[in-house]
Amino acid sequence: MKPFYVTTPIYYINADPHIGNAYTTIAADVLARHHRQRGQETFFLTGTDEHASNVARVAAKQGLEPKVYADRVVERWREVTERVNASNDFFIRTSDQEHKAFVQEFLQRIYDGGDIYEGVYSGLYCVFCEAFYTEAELVDGRCPIHGTVPEQIEEKNYFFRLSAYQDRLLELYDRDPRFVLPGFRYNEARRFIEQGLDDFSVSRAGQPWGVPVPWDTDQVVYVWVDALINYLSALTYARPGDDLREKFWPEVCHVLGKDILRFHCVFWPALLLAAGFDVPKQLFVHGFLLLDEQKISKTIGNVIDPLDLIDVYGVDPVRFYLLRTVTFGQDGNISVEGLHERYERELGNELGNLLSRTTAMIARYREGRIPDRGGSSNVAERIERLGSQVAARLDAFDLTGALEQVWELIRRLNKHVEESKPWELAKDETQRGALDGVLYDLTDGLRAATIALAAYLPDTAPQILAALGQPPDLAWENVQPGRTAAVEGIEPAAPLFPRVDLPAAAA
Ligand code: MSP
């Protein structure tokens, strides 16, 4: 079985974490957890991008050394990573010594290979993107992403000969139409390459904060180059004494937002080729979370703090809501009202009530004993297909579609309760077998759905299995029907998703 390596972008520490960053981390976490369930050896990497020029500026304003400032603010990012329940295997900081040494080695390899040369850069620079723009790319003279006026910069820089990599990049794209997903992002990246590629600057002059260019320490490595290399450097030191590249490179899937497509889908593979490394296996580019149709971003100022939502609703509902409501890969609106509504309807009434009803009926009609076989309903058939359907969608990064498959089963089970009317069967002793069949099918369906949902709802899944008296084993093969243990002692379960008030700010 192939190992699975998944990454998030590493986040800029000079802004506070917001729901958009949390979204990428949650999505990557669902993939990591799912592949672990399938028995694959998995490595999940996230972390922080610390050498942005803004970090040095803000630190200076506060009279702090950049690293001291970074050590402080990185804690907010670690906290969000933990609070969204990310199961990352490592948290990289680009200020790590080992990372910095690796970046120098990486760049030296390209330099020695002849693809880096000295030149003068003159151009328009957006400090928020940490990227150069041409006049044509600006909208009314402003950065198309941040709406800010870029700075005019002119300085001696080292350039990477990206222009020499056009053919090799196109070959790469031709060889694997799934290199970048979804397909429309593949086309976007490929079109960008076809238009012809300009060399780009891989160093910055006069910046004290960053990784020194090994052959010219007056320059630091351009923050984007420094940042991209994290995906490889982390593997060299995350487990001291063990070079994880042997296992996980290039079996990697980079998950990222559409704002940073070019860096990942064009620059990064070219840099890897130039330095003599394999290119990543796959990149998945997701869309933006929007609030009233606008991108949620620090610069626009419409941020939602994920921790505020988690405080009110709990982490699993927030994870669930974002992936359920915004088709993964597309842009989509989110709102606190939307979260509230799905919390009550889908989590409370559909999933939560199914558990309450099932356990209450087993307690009441069968003295807490789960019957040992299913009924004549077609619930088992539905469960039978669940594992492969969900896995196929997750293999295609359709995190929203996978969730819909599980929800179909949950709705089917609720319908089964309504149609079979266990409360009437319970009144008639001759219907004992029929009642047992219904109770078993409900339990078995809920158990299978729970295993399929565990990557999305990591806190809730073990609670459901415990309430059903089932072992906490999340191995994917247990999504199969008929694996419910006929245990005793089932009691009516407490509500999984108790009522909460809509936060005042949203009401
Ligand atoms: N530091 C760079 C990435 C370097 S990776 C080698 C960076 N950092 S960032 O803090 O700005 O994070 C950008 C990422 O956060 C996006 O690519 C996306 O994954 C996520 N999002 C930020 N805002 C978002 C939304 N409104 N919606 C969805 N995701 C968003 O860029």
Cα 137 to averaged position of ligand 1 atoms, centre (Å): 20
Binned at pLDDT 50, 70 and 90, residue 294 comes out as confident
Ligand 1 atom 23: residue of nearest CA: 20
Cα 127 to averaged position of ligand 1 atoms, centre (Å): 15
Residue 127: what pLDDT?
A: 85
Alpha carbons 12 and 53: distance in angstroms, whole number: 10
* Cβ–Cβ < 8 Å for 348, 480: no
Residues 6+ apart with CB under 8 A from 129: 143, 145, 146, 259
What is the CB < 6 Å shell around ligand 1?
A: 9-12, 20-21, 23-24, 49, 227-228, 230, 256-257, 259-260, 288-289, 295-297
Ligand 1 atom 30: residue of nearest CA: 20
pLDDT higher than 70, residue 297: no
Average pLDDT on 139-164 reads 92
Average predicted confidence (pLDDT) for the chain: 95
Cα 256 to averaged position of ligand 1 atoms, centre (Å): 7
Q: Which of 58-62, 231-235, 271-275, 418-422 has the lowest mean pLDDT?
A: 58-62
Ligand 1 atom nearest to CA at 263: 6
Ligand 1 atom nearest to CA at 15: 10
Burial of 355 (0-12, 13-18, 19+ CB in 10 A): buried
Residues 6+ apart with CB under 8 A from 176: none
Q: Which tokens in the block code for residue 230?
A: 């994290």
Alpha carbons 345 and 273: distance in angstroms, whole number: 50
Ligand 1 atom nearest to CA at 129: 31
* Cβ–Cβ < 8 Å for 268, 229: no
pLDDT higher than 80, residue 296: no
pLDDT higher than 60, residue 154: yes
CB count within 10 Å of CB 356 equals 17
pLDDT digits (tens, 9 = 90+) for 171-188: 999 999 999 999 999 999
Ligand 1 atom nearest to CA at 288: 27
pLDDT digits (tens, 9 = 90+) for 437-484: 999 999 999 999 999 999 999 999 999 999 999 999 999 999 999 999
Ligand 1 atom 10: residue of nearest CA: 11
pLDDT higher than 80, residue 505: no
Ligand 1 atom nearest to CA at 296: 26
pTM for the structure as a whole: 0.95
Residues 6+ apart with CB under 8 A from 413: 354, 379, 441, 442, 445, 446, 449
Ligand 1 atom nearest to CA at 231: 6
Residue 198: what pLDDT?
A: 93
Question: How much is the CA Rg of the chain, to the nearest whole Å?
Answer: 26
**Pick from 225, 296, 299: nearest CA to 263:** 225
Residues 6+ apart with CB under 8 A from 394: 30, 31, 34, 402, 455
Question: In a mutational test of the pocket of ligand 1, which residue from 21, 91, 185, 293 has the highest number of ligand atoms less than 8 Å from its CB?
Answer: 21
**Pick from 142, 165, 381, 402: nearest CA to 265:** 165
Question: In a mutational test of the pocket of ligand 1, which residue from 13, 14, 24, 335 has the highest number of ligand atoms less than 8 Å from its CB?
Answer: 24
Dump the DSSP string for 100-168: HHHHHHHHHHHHHTT-EEEEEEEEEEETTTTEEE-GGGSBTTB-TTT-PPPEEEEEEEEEE-GGGGHHH
Residue 358: what pLDDT?
A: 98
Binned at pLDDT 50, 70 and 90, residue 300 comes out as low
Cα 114 to averaged position of ligand 1 atoms, centre (Å): 32
Cα 473 to averaged position of ligand 1 atoms, centre (Å): 34
Over pLDDT 70: what percentage of the chain? 98
pLDDT higher than 60, residue 507: no
Q: Which of 96-105, 261-270, 292-301, 352-361 has the lowest mean pLDDT?
A: 292-301
Residue 341: what pLDDT?
A: 97
Residue 239: what pLDDT?
A: 98
pLDDT digits (tens, 9 = 90+) for 8-65: 999 999 888 999 999 999 999 999 999 999 999 999 999 999 999 889 989 999 999 9
pLDDT higher than 80, residue 361: yes
Alpha carbons 134 and 157: distance in angstroms, whole number: 17
User: C-alpha distances in angstroms, 263 versus 97, 154, 296, 388?
Assistant: 24, 22, 21, 34
pLDDT higher than 60, residue 404: yes
Number of H helices, E strands in the chain: 20, 17
Read off the amino acid at residue 470. Answer: Q
Ligand 1 atom nearest to CA at 227: 6
Q: Which tokens in the block code for residue 58?
A: 């803000």
Cα 428 to averaged position of ligand 1 atoms, centre (Å): 60
Residue 502: what pLDDT?
A: 85
pLDDT higher than 70, residue 299: no
Question: In a mutational test of the pocket of ligand 1, which residue from 6, 11, 223, 265 has the highest number of ligand atoms less than 8 Å from its CB?
Answer: 11
Question: In a mutational test of the pocket of ligand 1, which residue from 259, 268, 399 has the highest number of ligand atoms less than 8 Å from its CB?
Answer: 259
Ligand 1 atom 24: residue of nearest CA: 20
Residue 452: what pLDDT?
A: 98
